[in-house]
Amino acid sequence: MNFSFSESQLMVAEAAREFAEKYIRPHVMEWDEAQRFPVEVFKKAGELGFMGILVPEMYGGSGLNYHDYIVIIDEISKVDPSIGLSLAAHNSLCTNHILSFGNEEQKQRWLPKLASGEWIGAWGITEHNTGSDSGGMATTAVKDGDEWVLNGAKNFITHGLSGELAVVIARTGEKGDKHGITAFAVERGVAGFSAGKKENKLGMRASETAEMIFQDCRIPDANRLGEVGEGFIQAMKILDSGRISIGALALGIARGAYEASLKYAKERMQFGKRLIDLQAIGFKLADMATEIEASELLLHKAAYQRNQGLPVTLSGAMAKMYSSEVCVRVATEAIQIHGGYGLTKDFPVEKFFRDSKLCTIGEGTTEIQKLVISRQIDRLG
């Protein structure tokens, strides 16, 4: 097995690193404290190919693979996880859903705008009373001639306010029937589609999270993605791959917190020694480095399987669960290593600490990942 990055992956990593240093790092705390979603940064990301990472070149994308995708999200999340989260949601959810399940006309119509950064994408499945239990969603889509009428609301939606295109999962059959759910693409500006409350969050504050509301929202049948009743199955497949991106986000957070802690431990003196020379601190850093390495290996195994067209339900869930729990542990230890300074905004670890918790919740909680894993190992023996 070859564990080395290819020359192209090293180039991709360098491009992402330079982008993050130039366009993101100078504004991290400004955006965080104002809870501002910096749309202009995503336009620039589109120019560099980061808004259509997995989209083939024929649709205006970069045509890269999942190894490249992990590298990009990792590098950007080391600087600001909020931007990494929004890039991941745009690429792996909305854009990937259209790429995976849209027909040719739909791909030609929407992918170039998404891949270029002209449009930012949103993806809506979560509702106020249905998080993990998405089969019980209340949002409905009723056929009326050649149109569908959507009614309901989605919440905790990344780019729910600013996204120009949303993939919306709605119920077209009986509640609880997993074959009674269908996916639709809804463009911003259509009558009956509006944004609701923007969430005031603990972390990931520069990544916009808001409600999407549908009130007698009429869209043409041409906006339906796939067959009627396939929406839930599509969504589960999108989430399988999406877990790789959240794992990559978690990896970047852990790496950012670790690198800041390593630097601090080498510079800070206590009892006449560097912090890193004190066993209590050195052992913390050793655990952090090892768990980050393990996270990265799990993620790239899932990426390899995804690139080969193999199922990633098990490997993606394992990578997401482990990486997200690791990033919380690493961020927590980073605060401890910094001591009182870790609680201040003069050092980056307090933000990594706040941002890390999203990773154990978004795109399936740790508990849901364990449920997925346990069912897979039971079925596969």
Residues with a catalytic annotation lie at 363
Q: What is the 3-state secondary structure (H, E, C) of the chain?
A: CCCCCCHHHHHHHHHHHHHHHHHHHHHHHHHHHHCCCCHHHHHHHHHCCCCCCCCCHHHCCCCCCHHHHHHHHHHHHHHCHHHHHHHHHHHHHHHHHHHHHCCHHHHHHHHHHHHHCCCCEEEECCECCECCCHHHCCCEEEEECCEEEEEEEEEEEECCCCCCEEEEEEECCCCCCCCCEEEEEEECCCCCEEEEEECCCCCCCCCCEEEEEEEEEEEEHHHEECCCCCHHHHHHHHHHHHHHHHHHHHHHHHHHHHHHHHHHHHHCEECCEEHHHCHHHHHHHHHHHHHHHHHHHHHHHHHHHHHCCCCCHHHHHHHHHHHHHHHHHHHHHHHHHHHHHHHCCCCCHHHHHHHHHHHHCCCCCHHHHHHHHHHHHHHHC
d(CA 245, CA 156): 18
Q: What are phi and psi of 143, to 5 degrees?
A: -75, 135
Per the structure block, which two tokens stand in for 149? 């009428």
CA-wise closest residue to 232 among 95, 114, 97: 97
Spatial separation of the C-alpha atoms in residues 216 and 192, rounded to whole Å: 6
147 vs 144, 217, 220, 224, 341, CA distance in Å? Answer: 5, 10, 4, 10, 58
